[in-house]
């Protein structure tokens, strides 16, 4: 089963580069692209770094009720986004991948491209 769902809320139709953090966070928080960009930019301004810096979007997620966790690879040599989705069929997650960020909701990953073969380093989970 393909767990990828195409998702690109960028208001410029077809824009696919450079805004993965905004796309992932907008999906995770249920906000539009513009609101997410503005709120994340305010955090970036406050903390004096770029919105795509891991500690900036991490701070934004923490302020919005998320908690950071280490990926459990279950002893596998390669543990992918697709594996993570199979192991987490319920909940909202934001996965940090080298050079990329992707949102997982209820076992499906929402992205502008099929990033299921990428390897997550850590993830943020909405606290319940």
Q: Inform me whether the pLDDT recorded for 73 exceeds 90.
A: no
Taking the model in full, what pTM does it have? 0.94
Distance CA 35, CA 25 (A): 10
Which two tokens mark 82? 């697709």
Burial 4-36 (b: 16+ CB within 10 A, else e): beebbbbeeeeeeeebbbbbbbbbbbebebeeb
Name the percent of the chain lying above pLDDT 70. 98
Mean pLDDT for the stretch of residues 115-127: 95
Listed by start position, the domains of the chain span 9-126
Torsion of CA 52, 8, 25, 57, to 10 degrees: 0
């Amino acid at each position: 089963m393909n767990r990828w769902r195409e998702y690109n809320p960028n208001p410029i139709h077809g824009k696919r580069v450079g805004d993965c953090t905004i796309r992932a966070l907008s999906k995770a928080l249920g906000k539009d692209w513009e609101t997410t960009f503005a709120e994340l930019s305010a955090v970036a301004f406050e903390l004096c770094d770029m919105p795509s810096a891991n500690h900036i979007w991490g701070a934004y997620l923490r302020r919005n009720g998320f908690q950071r966790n280490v990926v459990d690879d279950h002893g596998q040599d390669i543990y992918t986004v697709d594996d993570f989705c199979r192991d987490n069929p319920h909940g909202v997650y934001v996965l940090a991948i080298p050079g990329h960020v992707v949102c997982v909701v209820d076992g499906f990953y929402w992205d502008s491209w099929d990033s299921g073969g990428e390897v997550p380093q850590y993830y943020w989970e909405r606290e319940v």
